[in-house]
Chains A and B, each alone.
Chain A
């Protein structure tokens, strides 16, 4: 959080002969996408120094996880990156499943892939809409949220919740897909490509859009790697680093898709990458829909870890005992530690879980891509114009819930 000494040092330089001034941008600024505060030292309209300051949304989720059982902590993961709750569920569950050594049925894995890719599209839509509105293109925002609503309706239909779904659980999923899901997803898949064309028509050739984003916020590939950047920002610098391709999880190796990259590494390149990623996600959803069989298990069977079927509880003594034990005291993974990383819409989302053999995690840590990508913001904007600051914050695609956790 804020540091009076830093403001002091900035003001000192201001009075020391030069003509700089300090501008306090945020935390209540619409273009900071939440409660991000940036201390800007300005020389006229040029940014001399930028110091991001966060922590306004810090809710101690990692600490809270330590006080819950492994299954209870899933509801907290939804609230980290609130534009990507299913992805957070998946990363956390993969880490715990790794700790337990669980195998997930293929059908459940495909359903996970389908849901997470739909989530990626919806997250990119929010990004595109808000980024465009920051730069003055009002109408794109309305179109993006119209399509996002369709995805949220699918989530509500499948999981019962629009946003905080908690749909992906340890060992599989919370529920099987409801009857009629296929028609809904098919309908969406049919509609979406044309809609992406519409956004591109509005923006890609738009002279104002190009003027605001082209050659703005450049970072070299070496710097991006050194600053631990991941996701579209890194791929816009020319590196094909995508966890779905490099370290496949949840059967991503069985899907055909491209990893879009560009080399310009400016805001426009990142925009093009995210639009291309939406199209690739549609391809993946298409394949997943074809792979998901109508019948089959939606979670694995593991005595004492996964809640048993309702029917079994009525006939089998052990099932009833396990059910009681899972919901009263939870399960205890072997002592050890595991790190699972997925490709979230923003970059590498890693979850580190350490166990000491008790039913509550010893430590849960989230490697939030927003937090780490934001670190490079001063590199993107120092020496540039103040209007570029808005474009650069938008292009990193931060979610403050994930930055502060």
Chain B
């Protein structure tokens, strides 16, 4: 398993570095998983390479998600979990975004299945995806304020809902 993952990493790193020396800023190996950290500017090109390159063929975007490392900077990590069905491999692409400009290029043009997943990240984390065809909230109501999955958003929410006990006493004569 580990050997396989190393081989996979080598191929991906080699292909991407061969295309552009600036395509990879860091490679992380943890528990047999490969994470390739990509600079924000080249994300879409790297994604396109990963999908279209004959030696990589990451044709399935399994999952896109985001981690908030508040109060550390860069605060956000957007992860794309890719699967290559023909080569039976997995890979994680990661982009790091700072809190003052949480925007990144959308990969909907590369994998159309990214559409709702990016909407979900936008809805819950407040990351903006440039070039997304339909960037609306998807799970929360449209007029919701704030981004619930951010670390500075309280678990109980912001709304001041009076407890049942206070409502009961208030209505009594």
Residue of B with least CB distance to A368:
B63
Asked whether A239 lies within 8 Å of B85 as measured between CB atoms, the reply is yes
One digit per residue, 1 when the CB lies within 8 angstroms of any chain A CB and 0 when it does not, for chain B 84-109 equals 01001010100000000000000000
Asked whether B67 lies within 8 Å of A341 as measured between CB atoms, the reply is no
Q: Tell me whether A226 is interfacial, beta carbon within 8 Å.
A: yes
Known: A64-B155, A338-B30. A1 touches B111 (CB 8 A): no
Summarize A's interface: helix, strand, loop or mixed. mixed
Instruction: Point out the residues of chain A lying under 8 angstroms from B90, CB to CB.
Output: 247, 339
Asked whether A225 lies within 8 Å of B116 as measured between CB atoms, the reply is no
Asked whether B112 lies within 8 Å of A227 as measured between CB atoms, the reply is yes
For the complex, give the distance between the alpha carbons of A212 and B137 in Å.
34
* Number of B residues, CB within 8 Å of A: 39
Q: Tell me whether B126 is interfacial, beta carbon within 8 Å.
A: no
Q: Kindly identify, within residues 73 to 109 of chain A, every residue whose CB is under 8 Å from any CB belonging to chain B.
A: 98-99, 101
Instruction: Point out the residues of chain A lying under 8 angstroms from B136, CB to CB.
Output: 3
Asked whether A226 lies within 8 Å of B31 as measured between CB atoms, the reply is no
Instruction: Point out the residues of chain B lying under 8 angstroms from A229, CB to CB.
Output: 113
Q: Please tell me which one of the listed residues A1, A3, A60, A99 contacts residue B31 in the complex, with CB atoms under 8 A apart.
A: A99
For the complex, give the distance between the alpha carbons of A1 and B92 in Å.
29
Minimum distance in angstroms from B82 CB to a CB of chain A: 10
Q: Please tell me which one of the listed residues B62, B67, B112, B117 contacts residue A363 in the complex, with CB atoms under 8 A apart.
A: B67
Instruction: Point out the residues of chain B lying under 8 angstroms from A365, CB to CB.
Output: 63, 65
Asked whether B141 lies within 8 Å of A1 as measured between CB atoms, the reply is yes
For the complex, give the distance between the alpha carbons of A352 and B65 in Å.
8
Known: A63-B149, A99-B31. A228 touches B65 (CB 8 A): no
Please indicate which of the listed interface residues B63, B81, B155 has the most CB atoms of chain A within 10 Å of its own CB: B63
Asked whether B79 lies within 8 Å of A352 as measured between CB atoms, the reply is yes
Asked whether A372 lies within 8 Å of B113 as measured between CB atoms, the reply is yes
Minimum distance in angstroms from B59 CB to a CB of chain A: 5
Please indicate which of the listed interface residues B68, B113, B136, B148 has the most CB atoms of chain A within 10 Å of its own CB: B113
Known: A3-B136, A228-B62, A247-B90. A339 touches B149 (CB 8 A): no
Asked whether A404 lies within 8 Å of B81 as measured between CB atoms, the reply is no
Please indicate which of the listed interface residues B88, B112, B141 has the most CB atoms of chain A within 10 Å of its own CB: B112
Q: Please tell me which one of the listed residues B35, B63, B113, B155 contacts residue A350 in the complex, with CB atoms under 8 A apart.
A: B63
Minimum distance in angstroms from B162 CB to a CB of chain A: 21
Q: Tell me whether A348 is interfacial, beta carbon within 8 Å.
A: yes
One digit per residue, 1 when the CB lies within 8 angstroms of any chain A CB and 0 when it does not, for chain B 40-76 equals 0000000000000000000111110101110000000
Q: Kindly identify, within residues 141 to 162 of chain B, every residue whose CB is under 8 Å from any CB belonging to chain A.
A: 141-142, 148-149, 155
Asked whether B67 lies within 8 Å of A339 as measured between CB atoms, the reply is no
Asked whether A352 lies within 8 Å of B149 as measured between CB atoms, the reply is no
Q: Tell me whether B164 is interfacial, beta carbon within 8 Å.
A: no
Asked whether B116 lies within 8 Å of A375 as measured between CB atoms, the reply is yes
Q: Please tell me which one of the listed residues A67, A227, A339, A362 contacts residue B113 in the complex, with CB atoms under 8 A apart.
A: A227
Q: Kindly identify, within residues 190 to 246 of chain A, every residue whose CB is under 8 Å from any CB belonging to chain B.
A: 225-230, 239, 241, 246
For the complex, give the distance between the alpha carbons of A67 and B155 in Å.
8
Residue of B with least CB distance to A374:
B116
Known: A337-B35, A365-B63, A367-B63. A54 touches B138 (CB 8 A): yes
Known: A64-B155, A339-B63, A350-B81. A55 touches B138 (CB 8 A): yes
12 additional contacts, CB 8 Å, given A1-B141, A363-B65?
A1-B138, A54-B139, A55-B141, A66-B155, A98-B33, A101-B31, A228-B61, A229-B113, A337-B30, A339-B92, A354-B67, A356-B69
5 contacts between A and B (CB under 8 A): A64-B155, A225-B60, A228-B62, A352-B79, A367-B63
